[in-house]
Amino acid sequence: MRPASAEPPPLIRLTGLSKVFRTDELETLAVADVHLEIPRGHYVCIAGPSGSGKTTLLSLLGLLDTASAGTYLLDGETVTGLSASARARTRCERIGFVFQSFNLIGDLTVSENVELPLTYRAMPTAERRRRVAAALERVGMSHRARHLPSQLSGGQQQRVAVARAVAGEPALLLADEPTGNLDSKNGDAVMELLRELHRAGTTIVMVTHNPDYARHAERTIHLFDGRVIEEDARARAV
């Protein structure tokens, strides 16, 4: 147990994290010896050209993939080397995802899509419903709770995806090109929603190619050939 006066650990601590993809004829180093700390409550952007390792790094942070070398501590606990079932449990309980393609299930209503990840947790039905209602209210989609994804615009679908991600009250929210399939108006709206979540205390790590959206974050980590080559820091938003 840490002394009461001790500084809390960063939410994310990577030490020498690497990922190698191998085939019979080729070995690709997608993420190379990354050392990184992200404190709780920060908003970080991962930037770089296509093929630089951004999405691979995000997948490692989200425990969607496993590292080839190095260590990953999430809120002070080692999560490298976890079994597949333990990684799935950690994702379900502590990590939220927002993807470029929304990934909503077409034959489920908006509220059912938001509730689905919560059904894999030992949570009473009343608590699940409360969280769904609160998440939809938070993203301004309560009035669409009974609609199907096909009845929504792209921007509305992404708002539902954000609600699904935050309904579980995750320690970490990962966003992979969250505006990539949206026009500028809807993209701006989603980015403002992420900014509001950050102001409320959510830790966000986002991948984006858009330099204007990257400036929403307080820190940008630049990747090239899987390596961190530069970091930019800005004053924290209030």
* CATH classification of the domain holding 165: 3.40.50.300
Flag whether 32 is in a domain.
no
Confidence of residue 8 (pLDDT cuts 50, 70, 90): confident
CA distance linking residue 34 with residue 227, whole number of Å: 6
Average model confidence (pLDDT) for the chain?
Answer: 92
Q: Is residue 114 part of a domain?
A: yes
* Per-residue model confidence (pLDDT) at position 2: 54
Instruction: Give the mean model confidence (pLDDT) for residues 41-68.
Output: 95
User: Has residue 54 been placed in a domain?
Assistant: yes
At 205, which amino acid appears? V
In which band, very low, low, confident or very high, does the pLDDT at 233 lie, cut at 50, 70 and 90? confident
The tally of domains found in the chain comes to: 1
Q: Is the pLDDT of residue 238 over 50?
A: no
Cβ(178)–Cβ(98) below 8 Å: yes
Min mean pLDDT across 5-14, 66-75, 145-154, 209-218 is at 5-14
Model confidence at 70, pLDDT cuts 50, 70, 90, reads very high
> Would 27 be classed as within a structural domain?
no
For residue 185, tell me if it sits in a domain.
Answer: yes
HEC per residue, 169-184? CCCEEEEECCCCCCCH
Rounded to whole angstroms, what are the CA distances from 48 to 10, 187, 224?
24, 19, 6
Residue-wise pLDDT tens digits, 85-114: 999 999 999 999 999 999 999 999 999 999
Does residue 14 belong to any structural domain of this protein? no
- Tokens (6 digits) for 8: 């809390």
Range of the domain at 104: 40-66+94-233
Provide the pLDDT confidence category of residue 235 given band limits of 50, 70 and 90.
Answer: low
Q: Can you tell me the mean pLDDT for 37-57? A: 94
In a domain? residue 117:
yes
pTM: 0.90
Has residue 3 got a pLDDT over 60? Answer: no
Determine the pLDDT at residue 23.
Answer: 84
Q: What's the pLDDT tens digit per position in 175-195?
A: 999 999 999 999 999 999 999
* Phi, psi at 145, each rounded to 5°: -55, -30
- Residue 77 within any structural domain of the chain: no
Q: Is pLDDT of 118 > 70?
A: yes
